[in-house]
Amino acid sequence: MKSVLFLSGKGGTGKTSLAGAFAVLMKNKVLADCDVDAANLHLLLDPEIQNEGEFQGSKEAVKDDAKCINCGECLRVCRFRAIDADFNIDPFLCEGCGACAYVCPTDAITLSPRISGRWYIADTRLGPLASAELYPGEETSGKLVTAVKQRAYQLGKELKAERLVIDGSPGIGCPVIASVSGANAVILVTEPSLSGMHDLERIMKVVRHFRIPAYLVINKFDLNEGVSAQLEEFATKEGLAILGRIPYDPMVPRLMLQGKSAVEAEESPAGKAMREIYSRFMEEVA
């Protein structure tokens, strides 16, 4: 099973919209939403959850008051200020590093598994979907992305799927790196703005590090054709193949409110461009 990953150096470029379009057009596939901080691919899919479970991403310190002798060693070594003057542990500040448990002379502090989020397996109108949500304030998003991908690959194996469509996270942090690992192709979605240009340069460096074939799509290119030209110049200089350009289309948000992709409306200019991009991509990877 070969995977195509959609990334953007920043949020709001239209990455999920294009991933949703591929989900409509591609046959015999499994879907994965690896934007665990703010998953929204499901808004186009009408999912019915079939299975779900807790995700234990880290640990937190727990104190046994019966064993505590108030010696203050835990307070002394906690660099995250998670322990107050009364030696109470704040679970929101605790990073689970284990320093307090290590120095405690009475073993009053232990590290307990921390529930950081949930993962989901769903049937959708466009195929099976693996996704997850990271609880507010929690970390280890990279581990949760890896868990989503593992379940997606397992689904693909069971269903004998040929393709995996992955909607990645914005930015260049841990969840993006976890998403990129093992991908067969990456489609970078950008927009014609100075921040879009800057973030494209950053995400390109990440993808290059993993030596994965990458392609560029410029969304809403006609809003600033000057910057679009700069983006194309950058792509040519970096040897980044341009799959296509998507025009600004007011129909897109209206269709998304109906739970539909732009490619499901024949009269949508953006949908027409996305269909052409899909065809060009399939020719490239065939």
Both 146 and 105 in one domain: the answer is: no
User: Do residue 196 and residue 228 come from a single domain?
Assistant: yes
Same domain (yes/no): 167, 229: yes
Tokens of 16: 């999920």
**Contact of 6 with 203, CB cutoff 8 Å:** no
Q: What letter represents residue 205's amino acid?
A: K
* Same domain assignment for residues 218 and 165: yes
- Residue in the block written with tokens 């990334």: 7
Bridge partner list, 133: 118
Does the residue 8 lie in any domain?
yes
Q: What's the CATH number where 39 sits?
A: 3.40.50.300
Q: Which two tokens stand for residue 1?
A: 């099973």
Considering the domain architecture, whether residues 107 and 127 belong to the same structural domain is answered as no
In a shared domain, residues 203 and 251: yes
Give the domain-ending residue among 72, 94, 115: 115
pLDDT in the model for residue 137: 80
Q: Burial of 233 by CB count in 10 Å (0-12 exposed, 13-18 middle, 19+ buried)?
A: exposed
Let me know whether 273 and 152 are in one domain: yes
21 in a domain, yes or no?
Answer: yes
Handedness of CA 140, 141, 142, 143 (dihedral sign): positive
Q: In terms of domains, do 111 and 185 share one? A: no
Domain boundary among 115, 135, 155: 115
- Residue type present at position 158: E
Cβ–Cβ under 8 Å, residues 173 and 9: no
Do 175 and 225 fall into the same domain? Answer: yes
pLDDT at 12: 86
How high is the pLDDT of residue 286? 62
209, 72: one domain: no
Tell me what pLDDT residue 186 has: 97
Q: Residue 63 belongs to a domain with what CATH number?
A: 3.30.70.20
Q: How many degrees, rounded to 5, is the angle at CA 12 between CA 189 and CA 128?
A: 70
Q: Which residues pair with 63 in a beta bridge?
A: 109
Q: Which of 93, 115, 137 is where one domain is finished?
A: 115
**Is residue 53 one of the residues assigned to a domain?**
no
Tell whether 111 and 138 lie within a shared domain: no
Indicate whether 24 belongs to any domain.
yes
Low-confidence ranges of the chain (pLDDT < 50): none
Percentages helix, strand, coil for the chain, rounded to the nearest 5?
Answer: 40, 30, 35
Residue 71, in any domain of the structure: yes
Q: Does residue 33 fall inside a structural domain?
A: yes
Quick check: is 52 in a domain? no
Are residues 153 and 189 both part of a single domain? yes
Give the model's pLDDT for residue 278. 97
How many structural domains are present in the chain? 2
Q: What is the domain extent for residue 251?
A: 2-47+116-285
The answer as to whether 274 is a domain residue is: yes
pLDDT computed for residue 76 by the predictor: 97
